[in-house]
């Protein structure tokens, strides 16, 4: 039985507090050891009964028509693909009017598209009454993208494989971050390709396996901002800096403004700056908003839950 009222689901952005990138695998992906943290910046997906599928997009990236910041409102959108995949899995007609309200910047290393896909799976499972098991939803999410399973689970988690194998981990407290969002996005495949090039030319060390995540896992369990600051690692950061040298200035600005540590989030170009506490985050956000290196600044906390029905 389907639900007749609109279903509204929100899903969070993620930052990678650890991103160890191994060598390129035979399937075209890299082996990863990553530690995800879901943070309080959300996209919202609303679904209603419809004839066939339709999709509208508003907010961040909705007006872009070219480049990595584009958000398509059609079959290439990850939310649309999630709808088709769930309908095929459940054996139901893919009938729904979908609306994606974006606050997570596009192509920013924050997994906004993955959040939309996860929210769509949860929303349409409710709307269509498919009653999919959690394991089934996670399996569908993994087919859609490496970050989509984590967008479903949220919290803090260790991601292995290409990032789609997610295991929840303990976080001993809430951490406070300021996200400095750059003016234009970076293509994730381009950043990985640049890392491969840098490794092949010897500009960054080559590796045979991903950097282990144990130090940051211990820091998360302990809950101390100082310990977490010392353990942040992103193996993609040199590649993001190579493609966008201006990010060096952004990282310096975060340090100069009092961040306990700053790191490029995922494939970038967002800079995630860790604050020692909530008041420090407020001061840091105000300082970074005034230095002119970011188009937007957002103070967030984590961990938060993954995709959830809100009404």
Mapping DSSP onto H, E and C, the string for 141-209 reads: HHHHCCCHHHHHHECEEEEECCCCEEEECCCCCCEEEEEEECCCCCCHHHHHHHHHHHHHCCCCCCCCC
Phi, psi of 121 (to 5 degrees): -60, -45
For residue range 156-186, what is the model confidence (pLDDT) as tens digits? 999 999 999 999 999 999 999 999 998 788 9
- Digits of tens for pLDDT over the chain (311 positions)? 556 679 999 999 999 999 999 999 999 999 999 999 999 999 999 999 999 999 999 988 775 544 555 677 889 999 999 999 999 999 999 999 999 999 999 889 999 999 999 999 999 999 999 999 999 999 999 999 999 999 999 999 999 999 999 999 999 999 999 999 987 889 999 999 999 999 999 999 999 999 999 999 999 999 999 999 999 999 999 999 999 999 999 999 999 999 999 999 999 999 999 999 999 999 999 999 999 899 999 999 999 999 999 98
Catalytic residue flag (residue 14) = yes
Six-digit token string for 139: 């399996």
Q: What is the pLDDT of residue 2?
A: 53
- 96-102/53-59 β-pairing: parallel
Catalytic residue flag (residue 147) = yes
Q: What is the pLDDT of residue 131?
A: 94
**What pTM, to 2 d.p., does this model score?**
0.93
Strands (E), the chain: 7-24, 30-48, 53-59, 96-102, 156-160, 165-168, 175-181, 233-234, 261-264, 271-275, 296-302, 308-309
Q: Among residues 43, 95, 99, 147, which one is catalytic?
A: 147
Q: Among residues 14, 43, 99, 116, which one is catalytic?
A: 14
């Amino acid at each position: 039985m389907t639900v007749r009222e609109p279903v509204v689901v929100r899903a969070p952005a993620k930052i990678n507090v650890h991103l160890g990138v191994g060598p390129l695998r035979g399937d075209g992906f890299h082996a990863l050891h990553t530690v995800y943290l879901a943070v309080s910046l959300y996209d919202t997906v609303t679904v209603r009964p419809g004839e066939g599928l339709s999709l509208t997009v508003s907010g961040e990236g909705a007006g872009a028509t070219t480049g990595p910041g584009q958000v398509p409102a059609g079959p290439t959108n990850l939310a649309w693909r999630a709808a088709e995949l769930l309908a095929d899995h459940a054996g139901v007609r893919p009938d729904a009017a979908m609306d994606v309200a974006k606050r997570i910047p596009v192509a920013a290393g924050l997994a906004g598209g993955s959040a939309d896909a996860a929210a769509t799976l949860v929303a349409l499972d409710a709307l269509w009454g498919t009653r999919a098991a959690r394991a089934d939803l996670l399996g569908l999410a993994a087919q859609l993208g490496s970050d989509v399973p984590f967008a479903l689970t949220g919290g803090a988690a260790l991601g292995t494989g290409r990032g789609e194998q997610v295991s929840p981990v303990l976080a001993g407290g809430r951490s406070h971050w300021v996200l400095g969002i750059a003016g234009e996005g970076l293509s994730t495949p381009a950043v990985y390709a640049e890392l491969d090039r840098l490794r092949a030319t010897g500009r960054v060390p080559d590796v045979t396996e991903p950097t282990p995540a144990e130090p940051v896992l211990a820091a998360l369990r302990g809950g101390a901002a100082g310990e977490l600051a010392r353990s942040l690692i992103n193996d993609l950061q040199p590649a993001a800096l190579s493609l966008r040298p201006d990010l060096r200035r952004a990282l310096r600005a975060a340090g100069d403004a009092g961040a306990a540590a700053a790191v490029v989030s995922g494939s970038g170009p967002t800079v995630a700056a860790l604050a020692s506490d909530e008041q420090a985050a407020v001061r840091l956000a105000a300082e970074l908003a005034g230095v002119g290196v970011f188009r937007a600044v957002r103070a967030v906390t984590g961990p938060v839950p993954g995709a959830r029905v809100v009404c």
